[in-house]
Amino acid sequence: MKKKSLREKIEGWIWTIVIVLILRESVVQAYLIPSGSMEDTLLPGDFVLATKFDYGLKIPFTDIKLFSGKLPKRGEIVIFTYPIDKNKDFVKRVIALPGDTIEIRNKVVYINNKPLFEPYVVYRDSYYYKSIDIDKESFQKLWLSGAFASGQKFVRDNFGPIVVPKNAVFVMGDNRDYSFDSRFWGPLDIKYLKGKPRIIYFSWGDKGLRLNRIFKIIG
């Protein structure tokens, strides 16, 4: 058998790297969960694999979309580029869709004036932050302007009502009292959606390896 030349080996390595990068950009990517905002669904130290074509497919290494894909469903967990700092990726759950009216009353979420069933939510605090006395139109304007992005506590437990804009979704963390999400920084434009986490392939916590979480399907 003829041995490969150094040039052939280098070309093979280059093509392997290119294929891996294309797959990472367009098909599947690994992410580490850094915070507890999605507890108990996702824990800090969970390593997840996410598919990247669910909400559209981009030409690798560009922002040009080959097709837009579908909107996420209410309740889906998504990975996205944080709109305020595009060097960061966040993971949250989609709570409301374009045109939905969302309101939070003493921590209970209402979509189109109906309470939302949320078996996945965790509440760490037993107390509520009081709402502010402001009309709906003014609240919507403040929210869209990013006025709550510095983390005003009064929107944590009592929020809105607001209408989710066109081409945007409203996302929140499952660890509801300790999540920085659409309540504070506003709607998530669907152009920032990156993918959908599918499976936990590794998990490491304060006490070491969490075997019971490995290969857990994310739903």
Q: How many Å separate Cα 52 from the centre of its chain?
A: 13
**Cα–Cα dist 27/52, whole Å:** 5
The pLDDT of residue 55: 84
| Beta carbons within 8 Å of 162's beta carbon, 6+ residues apart | 101, 102, 103, 136, 139, 140, 143
**Cα–Cα dist 26/60, whole Å:** 6
- How would you write the pLDDT of the chain (219 residues) with one tens digit per residue? 556 677 766 766 676 665 555 555 656 889 999 999 999 999 999 999 999 888 877 666 566 666 666 899 999 999 999 999 999 999 999 999 999 999 999 999 999 999 999 999 999 999 999 988 899 999 999 999 999 998 889 999 999 999 999 999 999 999 999 999 999 999 999 999 999 999 999 999 999 999 999 999 997
Domain boundary assignment for the chain: 6-217
The pLDDT of residue 157: 97
**Topology of the domain comprising 6-217:** Umud Fragment, subunit A (2.10.109)
- Is residue 37 flagged as an active site residue? yes
Closest CA to 86 of 185, 172, 198: 185
The pLDDT of residue 5: 75
Q: Which candidate in 37, 179, 182, 203 is catalytic?
A: 37
**Cα–Cα dist 11/156, whole Å:** 54
- Is residue 92 flagged as an active site residue? yes
Q: Which candidate in 58, 70, 92, 216 is catalytic?
A: 92
The pLDDT of residue 70: 80
